[in-house]
Chain A
Amino acid sequence: MNAFAISGHGMPLSLTNLGVSEDARDLQKRIADVLGDTLGERHEKIRSSLESVFDECSIDNWDGYDAQAVTVDTYLESRRFFSLLPSTIPLPEISAEPDGEIAFEWMEGRQNIFSVSIGANKLTYAGLFGMNKAHGTEYFGDELPQAILFYLRRLFA
């Protein structure tokens, strides 16, 4: 009999294999392939969106209203930000902002929106949660700030 416990806490996912048979190992490999493909698809979609935004917004006045160009550093920081997001969070929509920062945005209805702007070692966020509002700035170091995780969980609760 094959038994698996699959747990995921952000990146990466881990598998606990309680079975030792060849069938169990084969099934484990197939599950890992599927999950890997799924995660790979997520990364590919976001990478593609980020590249598209960077390509279109890496020159000054990209919006016709004197917007500042998105820099390579901002692009790379944005990829790093995405890599730290839990894989259970739905894919965000990505756009550029007039000050050259890149924004990640999640929406669950018109009055439930959370947006994070990626800057140099800094994350600026704002959110509407029904009648409630939130905004602030967090230092962006090696880990995702707890405040960002808190509001993402709040949005999808």
Chain B
Amino acid sequence: MNFLKRFYSICEDFLHRLYSGDANELLEIKPTDSLARFLLQSSHFSHTKFRVKPGALLPNRDGETSVFMVSELDEHDIWQIGYKHLSEPLGRTLYARAEVFASLVEGVGLQIEFDNTPPRHANIVGWPEEKSEQKLRALELASDARLILNPEEYP
């Protein structure tokens, strides 16, 4: 009976996360969730060496690194998030995205604040004050990040 209750709970949570688009509904980010950082600057990655550069993940002046939780989305939907919220409003090219697991962020001593505004948006926070320490954390994140090139730009 306990097994069925637990199974039901997991299914309910999965369906809720899959279909929730309500900005007022907060979702919990799990360690295995993928966080995407959309890259509008070509020097933030190497498409020949297929790697993300640490500068792509450093925080802005507010101490935040903006990401989107993209678990359980297909490629088309993931790229649409980047186009809708970044590329099109700014008129900039969406070159690629970097993806890291939430567990990696926490593994380097940072935190994830999930605000779901816009939907699926979160910030990586908890960066050290000292820039050299920030660079080190960014190096560690970048070394394990996955680079996914936008097929529209790199067919």
Cβ contact within 8 Å between B55 and A64: no
Contact A56 B53 (CB under 8 A): no
Determine the main DSSP class of B at the interface with A: helix
Bound-state CA distance A136–B133 (Å) is 8
Docked complex Cα distance between A9 and B143 (Å): 32
Contact of B132 with A by CB under 8 A:
yes
Nearest Cβ distance between residue A56 and chain B, in whole angstroms?
7
Task: Encode contact with B along A56-77: 1 for CB under 8 Å, 0 otherwise.
Answer: 1100011111111000000000
The answer to whether B44 and A63 have CB atoms under 8 Å apart is yes
Docked-complex contact B131 and A137, CB < 8 angstroms: yes
Q: Which of the residues B51, B61, B92, B131 comes within 8 Å of A124, measured between beta carbons?
A: B131
Total number of B residues with any Cβ neighbor in A under 8 Å: 35
In the assembled complex, 19 residue pairs joining A and B whose CB atoms fall closer than 8 Å, in A order, are A56-B42, A62-B40, A63-B44, A64-B90, A65-B60, A68-B61, A95-B56, A96-B41, A98-B60, A99-B61, A107-B49, A113-B54, A117-B135, A124-B131, A124-B135, A126-B135, A126-B136, A126-B138, A128-B136
Residues on A lying within 8 angstroms of B by beta carbon are: 52-53, 56-57, 61-68, 93-99, 103, 105, 107, 110-111, 113, 115, 117, 124-128, 133-137
